[in-house]
Amino acid sequence: MNKRIKFRKKRYAVPIIIIATLIILRLLLPYIVKKYVNNVLSDIPGYYGEVDDIDISLIRGAYVIHGLYLNKTDAKSQVPFLNFRKTDISIEWEALLKGKIVSEIFMNSPEVIYVFEVQSQKDESDLDDWSKALTDLVPININNLEVINGKFAFVEINAEPTIDLHLDKVKLSMTNLRNVVEKLETLPSKIEATGVSIGGGDFKLNGKLNIIKRIPDMDISFSLENANASAMNEFTNHYAGIDFEEGNFNLFSEIAIANGYLRGYIKPILKDAKLIGKEDGFLETLWEGFVGFFKFILKNHKENTLATKVPIEGDLNNVNSKTWPTIINIFKNGWIKAFKNIIDDDIDFKNVQKEANNKKLNK
């Protein structure tokens, strides 16, 4: 009788111990993961960072990082380089059904702020350090990435006043990054993004890419339309000594990369621009009048636009913009015809791919 009672106690004791152990491990898991993440961030050379909290969802196969930030150790500004308020990292179940184990990331309100005084002093090689560290936080390959309400900014704090060029309300989607959906296309992944720029401009980006290659292939176009030019006065005044009383700023670009060879263009357009503010001093007014004189000569008077088209091409280790075509395009816009306020659609990925292959054969 006593043996039977002891057996029953042992029979119940074992599962109780196992359940209790699992519960304790589940309670400790967020702290273990948080310690791991903070150790990864603290080991990045030249940077410091940490996370506020971590939630674990075993059922979803996910963990959520709250309040991740990263900054330079020698930064004079307390503005974090990376500030990710909420990052949800989980297994992509749809891909799992296709026999692929990959992850998807959902980011809510991430901020990437490039402080010029800090980042311009750094060795660009440590870009690999922090980007690799962030990917180490994801245990399996990323297939899908989604961002809502993001912010990307360029800030120069030593300028007077401070320069702050930014994109707000960024919505970004990158799909099929690990080619889970098998396709015969050279560029199987898709990227789309929208946002609102300084001055209320509409930003759009779309394209295709293949990031599995060491140097990713891509075919991307983006545009910025109807931004208030006067909103960029801190930038233009600091670097060119001019400011706009009114005007409309637009930017269009196409970029294709094939086998490490890049070709594209950047096309800025100013429309209905007016310089010289009423409160400017004599020297400022004189300089702006001088710039305005050349703007009058170089602009297309029928369309009232000032524009140029900057070609960019070459090896990715030595990308350069061509000076003379830029100057020619300025005069072309002024005296022949205005550039249209659209993406030109004259950068073809297949042509860039052929040029890249020809350059390899000629080496």
- 191 or 133: which carries more pLDDT confidence? 191
The neighbouring-strand residues paired with 244 are: 275
The answer to whether 193 and 151 have CB atoms below 8 angstroms apart is no
Among 184-198, 220-234, 244-258, 268-282, the minimum mean pLDDT is found in 268-282
What pLDDT is attached to residue 130?
A: 64
What pLDDT is attached to residue 209?
A: 93
Task: Please determine, for residue 59, whether its predicted confidence score (pLDDT) is greater than 60.
Answer: yes
Give percent of the chain with pLDDT exceeding 70: 74
- Grade residue 125 by pLDDT with cuts at 50, 70 and 90: very low
The neighbouring-strand residues paired with 142 are: 103
Among 78-92, 121-135, 157-171, 300-314, the minimum mean pLDDT is found in 121-135
What pLDDT is attached to residue 137?
A: 79
Query: CB-based contacts of 56: which residues, under 8 Å, 6+ apart?
Result: 26, 29, 30, 33, 62, 63, 64
What pLDDT is attached to residue 40?
A: 84
Q: CA angle at residue 312 from 327 to 151, to 5 degrees?
A: 110
What pLDDT is attached to residue 327?
A: 59
Alpha helices in 43-109 (DSSP H): 93-96
- 301 or 216: which carries more pLDDT confidence? 216
103/142 Cα distance (integer angstroms) = 5
What pLDDT is attached to residue 279?
A: 59
187/190 Cα distance (integer angstroms) = 8
Distances (CA, A) of 51 to 78, 179, 190, 259, 319: 16, 31, 30, 38, 37
The continuous run of DSSP H or E covering 83 comes out as: strand 82-91
Strands 320-321 and 305-307: unpaired
What pLDDT is attached to residue 338?
A: 65
Give percent of the chain with pLDDT exceeding 90: 28
Average pLDDT value over all residues in the chain: 80
- 112 or 43: which carries more pLDDT confidence? 112
- Grade residue 330 by pLDDT with cuts at 50, 70 and 90: low
What pLDDT is attached to residue 121?
A: 47
- 66 or 236: which carries more pLDDT confidence? 66
Among 93-107, 169-183, 289-303, 337-351, the minimum mean pLDDT is found in 289-303
Q: What is the mean pLDDT of residues 257-280?
A: 82
Cis? peptide before 30, omega within 30° of 0: no
Task: Please determine, for residue 277, whether its predicted confidence score (pLDDT) is greater than 90.
Answer: no
The continuous run of DSSP H or E covering 332 comes out as: helix 323-335
Number of CB atoms found within 10 A of residue 122's CB: 14
What pLDDT is attached to residue 276?
A: 66
Q: What is the pTM of this model?
A: 0.80
Among 30-39, 90-99, 108-117, the minimum mean pLDDT is found in 90-99
Task: Please determine, for residue 55, whether its predicted confidence score (pLDDT) is greater than 70.
Answer: yes
Q: What is the mean pLDDT of residues 160-187?
A: 86
What pLDDT is attached to residue 329?
A: 66
- 326 or 106: which carries more pLDDT confidence? 106
